[in-house]
Amino acid sequence: MTATLDAPRSKPAPRRTNWEKWGWIYMRASGVVLVVLIFGHLFVNLYAGEGVKAIDFGFVAGKWASPFWQWYDAALLWLALIHGSNGMRTIVNDYSTGPRLNTWLKRAIFVSTVLLILLGTLVIFTFDPCPTGTAADLLPSFCAAR
Amino acid sequence: MSTITVEAAQGSALESEMEEAPPGSFVVTLIIRRFIPELDEEPRWQDFDVRVLPTDRILDALHKIKWEQDGSLTFRRSCAHGICGSDAMRINGRNRLACKTLIKDLDPSQPIYVEAIKGLPLEKDLIVDMEPFFESYRQIQPFLQASGSPVRERTQTVAARERFDDTTKCILCAACTSSCPVFWTDGQYFGPAAIVNAHRFIFDDRDEAAQVRLDILNDKEGVWRCRTTFNCSEACPRGIEVTKAIAEVKQAVLRGRP
Ligand code: HEM
Ligand code: SF4
Ligand code: FES
């Protein structure tokens, strides 16, 4: 009887895509970009020019008339929402011990994130402050139709 | 003859008095979280007044309670000198070895709270079931795996030895793992101690199974659950930079090699 094994306990864990690793990398990569985007966003909206008093419908419309701010806000939306929902997933994994509650909470986070990202992206890129065919008294003052 | 006997008797009386109140000693209150499974449904706090010296350790105070006041008080200790790792406990809310915590380093004017380490199943008084802790330690294969027959010493440069020197100091006391809030949530996380001991072999250039251990820790419950809270580094009685070791293992997993 031989008591020698060729490679005891040397079998590596089954190979599958490791989402935890990519999640960890994503939190840090998006975090670095978010610092820049968030402080840029806060600076432009709250401080530059007339500061916070300048924010109104026209201010937002003005920003989204420029592709630069469209892409800036889209990047902020995508990065922050995925970052935030992945962070929420981490917290759910920490605190919801029951497997069913855990699954449902994570599904709820996923669905709301996808919904918010799609709606947000739609608004950023299709926003039109002066839609044609709208009653003039509903339009903001800077529209040509008024 | 009789005079000598009287003198000796006086001497021993004085001695026992000295022992009761040695100069510089004072009375401190220990509030201990008791749990005797045969008697208690829930853990309860019980206070004891003990005469101690400032240079006494919490372990000495526990001994005094057990030997002079309440023999049912249960705790683990073996070496009493910070080597065996038996007596990690939560002292004033921080994980410490009872045998390395001096009374004078706490605030003896206030009661001192002593309870079992958290997260592992409480068995009795200050004793927890360490099995889940050792199970995750075993899973990272904490032994040298090298090919070739060990006919002579496996030499190593000083620099290569230095690479994992810090993590060789672990005494498996569980102070780190049982101070980790991620471990507290569901106890599924490998825990800092297992990662520290994996680090000890992953960065040992005589070992050939680093890849296996990196794969084991690149797991849902592996290094990625660490949130860099630093509780482990703060708790470690050996002064191991536990959080740094975990970060180095994360980097090694990302690199794909030690
Ligand atoms: C200022 C830019 C930001 C940076 C640098 C940043 C960085 C990070 C990092 C590195 C983590 C991972 C922590 C860990 O695993 O130990 C994290 C977690 C998290 N972040 Fe951010 N983040 C930023 C903005 C945001 C924003 C805007 C949100 C909300 C939408 C958010 C929500 C979260 C959540 C919910 C977590 C999980 C918390 C946890 O793990 O307990 N972060 N963040
Ligand atoms: S790393 Fe430090 S705290 Fe953790 S088990 Fe080892 S000696 Fe104890
Ligand atoms: S009794 Fe051995 S470490 Fe404290």
Domain of A63 in residue numbering reads as 22-138
Q: pLDDT of chain A along its 146 residues, tens only?
A: 456 665 555 555 555 667 899 999 999 999 999 999 999 999 999 998 888 888 888 888 888 999 999 999 999 999 999 999 999 999 999 988 888 999 999 999 999 999 999 999 999 999 888 888 778 888 888 787 76
CA distance A87 to chain B (A): 11
**How does the average pLDDT of chain A come out, rounded?**
87
B250 touches chain A (CB under 8 A): yes
Hey, which residues does B50 pair with through a beta bridge? Answer: B28
Q: Which residues of A touch B251 (CB under 8 A)?
A: none
**Residue whose token pair is 């000083």:** B158
Classify A49 in phi/psi space as left (phi over 0), alpha (psi -120 to 50) or beta.
left
Instruction: Quote the distance between the C-alpha of residue B43 and its chain's center.
Output: 21
pLDDT at B9: 45
Tell me how far the alpha carbon of residue B77 lies from the centroid of ligand 1, in angstroms.
42
Residue to test with chain A: of B185, B223, B254, most A Cβ within 10 A: B185
Residue to test with chain A: of B137, B143, B202, B215, most A Cβ within 10 A: B215
**Residue whose token pair is 């920003």:** A63
Is the distance from the beta carbon of residue A27 to the nearest atom of ligand 1 less than 6 Å?
yes
pLDDT in tens, B21-51: 889 999 999 999 999 999 999 999 999 999 9
CB B166 within 8 A of CB B241: yes
**What is the rounded CA–CA span in Å between residue B22 and residue B16?**
10
A6 within domain boundaries: no
A84 within domain boundaries: yes
**What is the rounded CA–CA span in Å between residue A125 and residue A64?**
8
DSSP B90-102: EETTEEEEGGG-B
pLDDT in tens, B117-150: 999 999 999 999 999 999 999 999 999 999 888 8
Q: Which residues of B touch A94 (CB under 8 A)?
A: 182, 185-186
Question: What six digits make up the tokens of B42?
Answer: 């829930």
A11 within domain boundaries: no
Its ipTM equals: 0.81
Domains of chain B in start order, with CATH, are 12-128 (3.10.20.30), 131-255 (1.10.1060.10)
- Mutation choice for ligand 3 from B84, B95, B96, B172, CB with most ligand atoms inside 8 A: B84
pLDDT at A86: 97
* 3 state DSSP class of B49: strand
From A18, A25, A94, residue closest to B185, measured CB to CB? A94
B135 touches chain A (CB under 8 A): no
Q: Which residues of A touch B183 (CB under 8 A)?
A: none
Residue with CA closest to ligand 1 atom 4? A31
Nearest residue to B158 (alpha-carbon basis) of B116, B199, B205: B205
Is the distance from the beta carbon of residue B82 to the nearest atom of ligand 3 less than 6 Å?
yes
A32 within domain boundaries: yes
A109 within domain boundaries: yes
Question: Could A13 and B211 be called an inter-chain contact, meaning their C-beta atoms sit closer than 8 Å?
Answer: no
Instruction: Quote the distance between the C-alpha of residue B101 and its chain's center.
Output: 11
Provide the domain count of chain A: 1
Burial of residue B247 (CB within 10 Å: 0-12, 13-18, 19+) is: middle
The sign one gets for the Cα dihedral A57, A61, A63, A69 is positive
A9 within domain boundaries: no
Residues 6+ apart with CB under 8 A from B175: B88, B95, B96, B97, B117, B235, B236, B237
Which numbered atom of ligand 3 lies nearest the CA of B82? Answer: 3
CA angle B113, B118, B124 (to 5 degrees): 75
Tell me how far the alpha carbon of residue B76 lies from the centroid of ligand 3, in angstroms.
8
CB B219 within 8 A of CB A129: no
Which numbered atom of ligand 2 lies nearest the CA of B95? Answer: 3
Question: Could A23 and B215 be called an inter-chain contact, meaning their C-beta atoms sit closer than 8 Å?
Answer: no
- B window 211-240, beta carbon within 8 A of A: 211-212, 215-216, 218-220, 222, 224-225
CATH number at residue A92: 1.20.1300.10
Tell me how far the alpha carbon of residue B79 lies from the centroid of ligand 2, in angstroms.
16
Nearest residue to B191 (alpha-carbon basis) of B203, B181, B200: B181
A146 within domain boundaries: no
Is residue B80 scored above 90 in pLDDT?
A: yes
pLDDT at A142: 79
Is residue B101 scored above 90 in pLDDT?
A: yes
pLDDT in tens, A12-36: 555 566 789 999 999 999 999 999 9
Is residue B8 scored above 50 in pLDDT?
A: no
**Residues contacting ligand 2 via CB (< 6 Å):** B 170-176, 192-193, 196, 235-238, 240, 242
A143 within domain boundaries: no
